[in-house]
């Protein structure tokens, strides 16, 4: 086993493993902070660690309670939109390094905008951290990823309960709330884009794991990518109960 995942929160700062893309991410965070976005303050790095500021709010396991209501889902859409728009004016380093293969898009995607990576206060998303998976990408990449988690798409009953839902929420209403918050105008099939983005995320785990990054290498060794891929059909069948096509507005 190579390098392990080590993230520790100490007071108001966070220590994370230093990665090849850390200087690029810190430059991005600096720009986003300058434009007033609630993302971690970049505090530098050494050969082994990077340091960032703690974003205030409930995060990780404490995040889930705040996304139970559609108002919270809408707020996450609005925050993601603000951050996407702010990223467009960043002058990226010519030698920018990303964790995953990246295109030339003007938007910088967060790459992992799931509820536990937002900071929340009083049922509203107030910050976004864990930027390791950021990359130039289409807005749809992040929107689809957020929809996967926030609608949610393809989730078993036990997992719904773990997230605090007493019963299946109104997935269409939640999708509309997120897209309204974001200001999404095009027609979208929520299930199709979410599952396609999930497949992309699995492929990205494989890319990272093959390069020896953790925890991805351990996930490959444990056979998770095949299991996730074979679970896609089940995720689709779990989505039978709602109309996922949201027309253009
Ligand atoms: N900048 C930050 N601001 C606020 N909380 C943070 C920050 N960075 C990390 N945390 C806390 O530490 C936890 C783990 O950090 P992070 O999300 O960056 O790593 P991860 O690889 O997703 O790990 P995990 O799978 O354990 O969530 C988060 O869920 C959150 O509670
Ligand atoms: Mg995280």
Pocket test for ligand 1, best of 59, 65, 113 (most atoms within 8 A of CB): 59
Q: Which residues contact 9 (CB under 8 A, 6 or more apart)?
A: 54
Q: What is the CA(248)–ligand 2 centre distance, in A?
A: 32
Q: What is the mean pLDDT of the chain?
A: 96
Environment of ion ligand 2 (residues, CB < 5 A): 117, 130
Q: 77 exposed, middle or buried (CB, 10 Å; 0-12, 13-18, 19+)?
A: buried
Q: What is the CA(187)–ligand 1 centre distance, in A?
A: 33
pLDDT in the model for residue 7: 93
Rounded (5°) CA angle 150-151-157: 100
Q: Where are the alpha helices (DSSP H) in 88-223?
A: 139-150, 157-162, 171-182, 190-210, 216-221
pLDDT in the model for residue 75: 99
pLDDT in the model for residue 229: 98
pLDDT in the model for residue 104: 87
DSSP labels, 169-198: --HHHHHHHHHHHHT--S-EEHHHHHHHHH
pLDDT in the model for residue 6: 85
Q: Where are the beta strands (DSSP E) in the chain?
A: 8-10, 13-17, 42-45, 49-53, 108-109, 118-121, 124-128, 135-136, 188-189, 245-246
Ligand nearest to the CA of 25: 1
Rounded (5°) CA angle 28-90-188: 90
Pocket test for ligand 1, best of 14, 26, 40, 149 (most atoms within 8 A of CB): 14
d(CA 116, CA 126): 12
Over residues 44-68, the pLDDT tens digits come to 999 999 999 999 999 999 999 999 9
Extents of the domains making up the chain: 8-53, 60-246
| Ligand 1 first shell, C-beta below 6 A | 7, 9, 14, 40, 52, 54-55, 59-60, 116-117, 119, 129-130
pLDDT in the model for residue 103: 85
pLDDT in the model for residue 24: 98
Q: Which residues contact 145 (CB under 8 A, 6 or more apart)?
A: 111, 112, 113, 114, 194, 197, 201
pLDDT in the model for residue 4: 56
Residues in the chain predicted with pLDDT less than 70, given as ranges, are 1-5
pLDDT in the model for residue 1: 36
Ligand nearest to the CA of 53: 1
d(CA 138, CA 196): 13
Over residues 120-137, the pLDDT tens digits come to 999 999 999 999 999 999
Give the residue whose CA is nearest to atom 16 of ligand 1: 130
Q: Which residues contact 204 (CB under 8 A, 6 or more apart)?
A: 99, 100, 133
Give the residue whose CA is nearest to atom 13 of ligand 1: 60
Is the domain 60-246 a CATH 3.90.1170.40 member? Answer: no
């Amino acid at each position: 086993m190579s390098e392990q995942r080590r993230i520790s929160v100490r007071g108001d700062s966070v220590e994370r493993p230093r990665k090849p893309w850390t200087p690029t991410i810190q430059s991005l965070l600096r720009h986003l902070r300058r434009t007033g976005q609630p993302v971690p303050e970049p505090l530098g790095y050494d050969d082994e660690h990077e340091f960032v500021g703690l974003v205030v709010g409930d995060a990780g396991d404490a995040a889930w309670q705040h996304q139970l209501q559609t108002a919270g889902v809408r707020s996450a859409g609005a925050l993601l939109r603000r951050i996407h728009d702010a990223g467009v004016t960043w002058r990226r380093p010519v030698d920018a390094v990303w964790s995953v293969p990246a295109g030339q898009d003007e938007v910088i995607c967060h790459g992992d905008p799931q509820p536990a990576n937002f900071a929340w206060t009083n049922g509203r998303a107030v910050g976004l951290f864990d930027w390791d998976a950021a990359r130039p990408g289409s807005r749809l990449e992040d929107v689809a990823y957020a929809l996967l988690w926030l609608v949610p798409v393809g989730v078993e009953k036990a997992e719904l309960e773990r997230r605090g839902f007493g019963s299946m929420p109104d997935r269409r209403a939640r999708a509309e709330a997120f897209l309204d918050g974001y200001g999404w105008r095009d027609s979208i099939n929520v299930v199709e884009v979410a599952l396609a983005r999930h497949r992309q995320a699995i492929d990205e785990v494989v890319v990272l794991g093959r390069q020896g990054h953790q925890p991805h290498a351990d996930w490959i060794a444990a056979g998770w990518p095949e299991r996730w891929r074979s679970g896609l059909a089940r995720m689709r069948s779990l989505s039978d109960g709602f109309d996922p096509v949201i027309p253009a507005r």
